[in-house]
Chain A
Amino acid sequence: MRKLSILLILLLALSACTSVKTDESKEVNIYSARNYDVDKDLLNKFEQETGIKVNLFEGKGDELIERLKLEQSDPIADLFMTVGAETLYPALQNNLLADLNLGSVKETLETGYYGTKWVALTKRARVIVYDKVNNPNPSVQNLSDLTDPQYSGQVLSRSSTSSYNVALMAHYLQQNGKDATKELMLGLVNNFARTPTGNDRDQAKAVVAGLGQYAIMNTYYVAAMERSSEQEEVKVAQQIGLIYPSETHVNISWIGQIKNSPNPTNAQKLINFLLSEASQREYTERNGEYPALNTIPVSSLLLPWNDFNKAVIDYETLGQYSIETVQMFDEVGWK
């Protein structure tokens, strides 16, 4: 009897590990590296409006790509959404994505921010920040200016493990080639105020603290600091000024549909929903990102989308330069 009951308990434990199967036609499966509350709320809204159950699996972009590769013969996910264009190259290269049918939505989007198999949901610029109070007349305009020996000990950046830095330098490599990029990296490293540490917000704080004059930072975090629950962070956000380089690096958060995905129609519906004006407004207002729809206004701390020059980036091949970029980081000693 006792043996039987123990076996029963084990069986129960096993069955608890498997869950009930739901109707395939009424659901959509997403692998997402956009781990934000605003996304969860938008997906909830989609569920309520359409009755389609959204199954969400959150992770990091590159890890999700690895997982999609492993599952390629029998895909589970319908959609993949992530932050950073670097994942686009491996996704296309490994033939993970299906063709998109954007229909009339396409007309509302800016050229260069969508392809046949992907579309940008939001955009973020990587800019230079400085202290408006203690350094009211900043003398730099571009990243390359920061390599000048006069800024020795004045440049702040996070470590080379940051995907934002990888994307930034991969873009430079894509446009200017290996030698120029290495020179830029080396110049920056030589002028670093400290060994790179902390996250984006930590760099802004270090600028205001006077640990260095200039820091490399994402606009997205400036807007996030402005909304912070910590009063001191809000003050920092207000005290820093943003320098948009003459060819500003803009990275995208993008979405794509998985090839041979189980629920393609629902996937398409969800993409259209996320590109709708209402959703785009949420992204901008609650998450501080530049929207894919340029008509929506952004935080007053950031420059309006049309007021600065963007570098032309081929997002589809950006990821091709990631590996070389990381190797160069090691070579120049960017920790």
Chain B
Amino acid sequence: MFTWKRLTQISSILWILLIFILFSETFTLLFTPSNENWQHSVTYVFKDVSTNTLIIVGFSTLIAGLLGLLLASSVSLFEFKGRKLFSFLFYLPLAFPPYVLAYFWMYFFSYTGTIQTFLRQLNIPYSSTWFVIDPIILAIFVYTSSLFPYVYISTKALINRTMGNYIENARVLGYSYPRIISRLVLPLSLPALLGGGLLVALEVLSDYGVVSYLGIPSFSTSIVRSWIRFQDFDTALRLASLLMIFTLILIFTFNYLSRKIKNLVPSKGKPLIPNRLSKQNSIILITVLTSFLFITFGIPFLQLINWSLKSLPSIRIQSIFPNLLNSLYLSIGVTLIILVLSIILANHKRIQNGIISSMSNKLVLLGYSIPGSVIGILCLVFFLNLRNFIPISLNKSALLLVFALIVRYVGLSYQSMDQGFNKIGMKFNEASQVLGKSYFNSMLKIDIPLLKPALLSAFTMVFLDIIKELPLSLLLRPFNFNTLATQVHQYANDEMLVESAFPTLIILTLSFIMITILVKFIQKENN
């Protein structure tokens, strides 16, 4: 008999199967003999690539984790003027595409950049060598400053929700704040730190724009280089499968650790009431937080505004509006489809907690961790093969791009749905079914409303990613289809940084609106 339950089960199995087919080619390659390009890569580039990737991913994740923890603690533990505003503003750096930040900071420290121009204008003697920054350090800085909100968001929620009792007791016992944060907040926040940290690590692993511009050999640049420069798809996929294995190990480790500490950490507790700071301390804290925001967000943002104004006469302004519409259609449309799919997948895991669903968990996340260009080419090959059976017009519809974006980002939303369903469990749905409602109705009336916070945060995160997405859009968009991000790329790729500012600013504005809606909703829920 046709039931919604059956339908969701079948569709989730079909999806997993699809992903499996998509990725299987890469893994099977590992068991075939390699060619000379592969040998060349192993001899000359492998050491550099793995060291760089490990250093960048490791440090970015650690520093983003530390920043997220400290910032979340500051706005949760203490009461000071502007606390609410700060706790909102720390979401915003997430809106910055990392590649834009890389372009910006490279400019900022360059000869024509803000600092050196300023020093020259004041006739202050200086040496340009002072401003030469190691590309790897710059990459870590860029990733950290745009990705720390992932950790910040999850940690803040956890601190506020569960740590009231502990922190109050510690305060009563006269523990100093550094001690409270290091001995109490840090270990109790581990699940959130791991969850947010995993997202940071995956995003850094798959990013291409930053490392490619800064000239750092990494996994993502080598994959593209093997494919494009060596015209060797085989070696590219081989590298991609190594990256995937590395990612799987990472996901397993994070999941394993999360499971280990799950029982040590309370899932419920008293909400935390922030402690009013003395005037002096609050001035110090506000100064530190403001400077931090100014560096990660303020300086690049102000420069973008300045450039936007300057560039208006020289950019093709008539492209902006259609590109804006395309960006909106694509981000909202695909995000909605992803939400539905991830509900189906996470729900399937909820009802059937077996090997398949636990495997699907990892497979779905995999898409999020490999460079977009690899997913792009895998999807392209898949669709071109499909064209032998079904007539599809690849260049006249956005179908291919939509599909690839779903593969790439469904994992992000799935993670939050899965956590959401874990919190809810089956009991409400079952109770509703006992009371005579159908499964689908119970899902719609009970589970979905309970999932609302997870849904909204998933929507925001996926939206923010898709609106700034590049490699897939570049590779798979249909004819005459540009987005704001591809327009940014067009200018930035041609080394026209000033001209790229205006479309970037629109991306940022749209992202801010999304973040504001999310934060307003969270505040309402908390009240």
Contact = CB atoms under 8 A, between A and B. Distances in A.
Interface in B126-178: 127-129, 132, 135
Interface in A172-212: 194-202, 205-206, 208-211
Nearest to B103: A199
A95 interface: no
Interface in A53-93: 55-60, 62-63, 66-67, 70-71, 74, 76, 90
Contacts of B263: none
Given A201-B495, A221-B495, A13 B314 contact: no
A23 to B, nearest CB: 13
A37 B317 CA distance: 10
Contacts of B380: 67, 70
A277 to B, nearest CB: 23
A231 B106 CA distance: 17
Contacts of A229: 307, 310-311, 313-314, 498-499
Contacts of A330: 40, 44-45
A232 interface: yes
A56 B231 contact: no
Interface string B484-526: 0010011001111111000000000000000000000000000
B479 A17 contact: no
A13 B403 CA distance: 13
Interface stretch (A116-124, A292-300, A302-310, A319-327): A319-327
A246 B208 CA distance: 37
B396 A326 contact: no
Interface in A154-174: 158-159, 161, 166
Interface stretch (B86-94, B211-219, B249-257, B343-351): B211-219
A92 to B, nearest CB: 14
Given A16-B333, A40-B316, A211-B132, A66 B482 contact: no
Contacts of B337: 13
Interface stretch (B59-67, B109-117, B362-370, B459-467): B109-117
A150 interface: no
B477 interface: yes
Given A37-B315, A41-B316, A323-B230, A19 B396 contact: yes
A55 B214 CA distance: 33
Given A56-B479, A330-B45, A29 B493 contact: no
Contact of B111 (A161, A196, A199, A209): A209
B302 to A, nearest CB: 15
B426 interface: no
B186 to A, nearest CB: 36
B394 interface: yes
A195 B478 contact: no
A282 interface: no
A197 B316 CA distance: 29
Nearest to A16: B333
A232 B112 contact: yes
Chain B binding surface, main DSSP class: helix
Interface in B197-240: 212-215, 217, 221, 225, 227-231, 233
Contact of A322 (B106, B229, B489): B229
Contacts of A67: 380, 475
Nearest to A287: B494
Nearest to A83: B494
Interface in A202-239: 202, 205-206, 208-211, 221, 224, 228-230, 232-233, 235-236
A56 B478 CA distance: 9
B450 interface: no
Given A161-B225, A202-B110, A236-B111, A36 B494 contact: yes
Nearest to A61: B228
Contact of A230 (B112, B132, B228): B112
Given A161-B225, A331-B44, A198 B132 contact: no
Contacts of B215: 158-159, 161, 195-198, 335
B141 to A, nearest CB: 14
Given A19-B478, A224-B494, A229-B310, A58 B128 contact: no
B359 interface: no
B310 A230 contact: yes
B295 interface: no
Interface string B387-409: 10000011111110010000000
A5 interface: no
A330 B490 CA distance: 28
Contacts of B129: 211
A3 B478 CA distance: 32
A161 B221 contact: yes
A280 to B, nearest CB: 19
B222 to A, nearest CB: 10
Contact of A18 (B116, B393, B477, B493): B393
B30 interface: no
Contacts of B396: 18-19, 21
A35 interface: yes
Which of A63, A201, A206, A326: most chain B Cβ within 10 A? A63
B217 A335 contact: yes
Given A206-B111, A331-B44, A59 B398 contact: no
A323 B231 CA distance: 8
Interface core residue of B112, B313, B477 (most chain A CB under 10 Å): B112
Contact of A66 (B314, B377, B395, B440): B377
Nearest to B496: A224
B490 A224 contact: no
Contacts of B265: none
B319 interface: yes
Contacts of A70: 380-381, 384
Contacts of B132: 194, 211
B407 to A, nearest CB: 15
B480 interface: yes
B490 A35 contact: yes
Contact of B475 (A59, A158, A224, A323): A59
Contact of A13 (B333, B477, B482): B333
B495 A76 contact: no
Nearest to B43: A330
Contacts of B225: 161, 326
Nearest to B384: A70
A146 to B, nearest CB: 19
Given A35-B494, A70-B380, A199 B402 contact: no
A205 B111 contact: yes
Interface string B434-471: 00000010001000000000000000000000000000
A228 B307 CA distance: 11
Contacts of B315: 37
Contacts of B184: none
B495 A200 contact: yes
Given A229-B499, A230-B498, A62 B230 contact: no
Contacts of A159: 215
Closest 6 CB pairs of A and B: A159-B215, A209-B128, A232-B112, A209-B111, A55-B479, A330-B44
9 contacts: A35-B489, A60-B474, A197-B215, A202-B106, A205-B110, A221-B495, A224-B495, A228-B496, A229-B307
Given A16-B333, A229-B310, 12 more contacts: A13-B333, A35-B493, A40-B316, A67-B380, A70-B384, A166-B229, A197-B215, A235-B112, A322-B229, A322-B231, A323-B230, A327-B44
